[in-house]
Structure 1
Amino acid sequence: MENPGRDAVKAFPASSNVSTLSCIDLSSPDIQNSVSLLKQACLDSGFFYIINHGISQEFMDEVFAQSKRLFHLPLEEKMKLLRNEKHRGYSPVLDELLDPVNQINGDYKEGYYIGVEVAEDDQETEKPFYGPNIWPSTDLLPGWRQIMETYHQEALRVAKAVARIIALALDLDAEFFDKPEMLGKPIATLRLLHYEGRVSNPAKGIYGAGAHSDYGLITLLATDDTPGLQICKDKDTNPQIWEDVAPLKGAFIVNLGDMLERWSNCVFRSTLHRVLVNGGERYSIAFFVEPSHECLVECLPSCKSETNPPKFPPVKCGVYLSQRYKDTHVDLSSYRSHQN
């Protein structure tokens, strides 16, 4: 695929500042080239495209169609599926506040969380983020659960393939992240997203999604053809410079999370990003991949030296994620009381 962002860029005004991202072909036999491209992307921006990942366009289209079916339900039906303390289920508009310094309200988006399915009587449900999912009834959305579970499995397969290239880019064994305490038992969360038609206005603190960096290891993002995602490669510049990320049909936009930045001692970048909506609807599907709850995230030996000592203390993945979610999500207990 030559010049993968070319056609997608046409969706932006001529004056837009469109970011140029590396494009990594998962089907390529030249693993060293893939490692080189990925490493440069992780050093530069922490964002890149993944193509030829093995998930068919037909299935991706079906997942998007099913996502729209959910969000087109009446609000009263969606509120019956309200997210719980395990972050499973429906997340209403304004539920998430990602940039409290600059936002006047929460994000103008609604979402739906689907995690690793764990039976209610399993002792693993004592851990945050583990437990049974909340599913729409089969009468309401027949076949919906099966499609989302299949997508969850396929996206995790792709994420593990990307993680192997990341490991090689960090001079680690390719299977480093495949260990049982890491992606062998991951906290992997599928999140369907729908941005409503509210026009974003940064000057007035109105955003589809406020500026933030992701919390975990990596994120796989599939989008429709509506622009909106922006990245800021240097969060410390004043004023900040924002670049548009072009949608690319059939590709994942992959970005690194804060946990990988900690692991790599800031060698690799977890980059600030946001979503601006221009009045139309926008749909995207994010897949957040983190290690197991008990995984200790500490500076990799290859990323520290006498002149570059560890910048972060070791932290367990489950503890770190729980705090990050607590900081950015509103308390929905009043919603639940109203439902009951």
Structure 2
Amino acid sequence: MPTDLKLPIIDLSSPEKISTSRLIRQACLDHGFFYLTNHGVSEELMERVFTESKNLFSLPLDDKIVMSGRGLRGYSPLHDENFSTATKGDSKEMFTFGSSEGVLSQLYPNRWPSQELLPLWRPTMESYYKNVVDAGRKLLGLVALALNLEENFFERVGAFNDQAPVVRLLRYSGELNSDGKETCGASPHSDFGMITLLATDGVPGLQVCRDKDKEPNVWEDVPGIKGAFVVNIGDLMERWTNGLFRSTMHRVLSVGKERYSVAVFLDPDPNCVVECLESCCSDTSPPRFPPVRTRDYFHDRFSQSLTSYSSTSS
């Protein structure tokens, strides 16, 4: 049976930036996951987001399907995402949205539910977006310090455009296989982007595998902490740091109970070029990954994992 993983707890409100950045560095080296507390997003707002998320997913399928969008934003039905060719797809529904402002919102428009159906939905989600992005900006500054970079590094190179992050609401059905085998609401994967901030409803199921190269995989439970984000490193940050900060494989195991979570992906601007940081390479540790433009990178990754994306993107 998996054991609970004791993750570090990072206090985002601490005035001691250097010591906090050192704690983040150690957490990223040891786990690739940590809890983030005192992040500035109120528990009351988080509870409203979960309430509105449940309201959306409880709508009839016909009402949800009309909110399916081209590419990444909007509604995605059960089994749309699939990280394994051996399964029919993950037993979860998703709804993704981003900023309503700027060029990106014109290229990738949000698919909001109608005000008649859910009158409080959009203002709640837009408030959450703003608050989480503010927390993400502060966190990335500390991550930069943890990598011996200037605090504003990620903003300066175009990695942090406050219109680029996306929020993904998730509903896991909780269904179990009749044969008793493990059922994944989210099959094993690592996140694609820089950093993910995850809020959960307290229902268990999230597990991590700290050594993704070891066979067989060893899974550990990550219990939720009320009001805290679970933060994890994504594949792009692994590329940036030349493998110093490794993205951690994780999954959501069905436990026979419906589960909700809210993931915020701090993704770079589509035009940002991700290449090895000078502080993470040397003559004896040359760059392991070639430079890649974020837009091309995400197009390739989502084409492989999202049925709706691959069927609508050219």
Question: What is the TM-score of this pair, normalised by structure 2?
Answer: 0.94
Specify the code of the residue in structure 1 equivalent to 2:159.
M
The change in CA–CA distance for 1:244 and 1:225 in structure 2 (over 3 A counts) is same
Residue aligning to 2:265? 288
Residue aligning to 2:84? 99
Q: State which drifts further: 88-97 or 323-332.
A: 323-332
1:2-17 mapped onto 2 (5 Å cutoff):
16-17=2-3
1:35 aligns with 2:21: yes
- Cα distance in structure 2, aligned partners of 1:332 and 1:296: 22
1:1-340 mapped onto 2 (5 Å cutoff):
16-85=2-71, 87-100=72-85, 103-118=86-101, 130-179=107-156, 181-184=158-161, 186-199=163-176, 204=181, 206-331=183-308
The change in CA–CA distance for 1:118 and 1:326 in structure 2 (over 3 A counts) is farther
Q: State which drifts further: 109-118 or 59-68.
A: 109-118
Secondary structure of residue in 2 paired with 1:138: coil
Identity across matched positions, percent? 46
The change in CA–CA distance for 1:95 and 1:306 in structure 2 (over 3 A counts) is same
The alpha-carbon deviation at position 329 of structure 1 amounts to: 0.6
Unmatched 5+ stretches in structure 2? none
The C-alpha deviation readout for 1:245-283, integer Å capped at 9, x for no partner, is 011100000001100000000001100000001110000
Say if 1:63 and 1:147, in contact at 8 Å, map to a contact too. Answer: yes
The count of aligned residue pairs is 312
The alpha-carbon deviation at position 116 of structure 1 amounts to: 2.2
- Cα distance in structure 2, aligned partners of 1:175 and 1:333: 35
User: Runs ≥4 in structure 1, deviation > 6 angstroms?
Assistant: 200-203, 332-335
- Cα distance in structure 2, aligned partners of 1:179 and 1:289: 15
Secondary structure of residue in 2 paired with 1:187: coil
Specify the code of the residue in structure 1 equivalent to 2:33.
F
- Cα distance in structure 2, aligned partners of 1:94 and 1:88: 16
Say if 2:242 and 2:280, in contact at 8 Å, map to a contact too. Answer: yes
Say if 1:220 and 1:252, in contact at 8 Å, map to a contact too. Answer: yes
- Cα distance in structure 1, aligned partners of 2:162 and 2:125: 19
- Cα distance in structure 2, aligned partners of 1:125 and 1:79: 20
Q: CA RMSD in A?
A: 2.1
The change in CA–CA distance for 1:333 and 1:311 in structure 2 (over 3 A counts) is closer
Say if 2:56 and 2:118, in contact at 8 Å, map to a contact too. Answer: yes
Residue aligning to 1:7? none
Unmatched 5+ stretches in structure 1? 1-14, 336-340
Specify the code of the residue in structure 2 equivalent to 1:114.
F
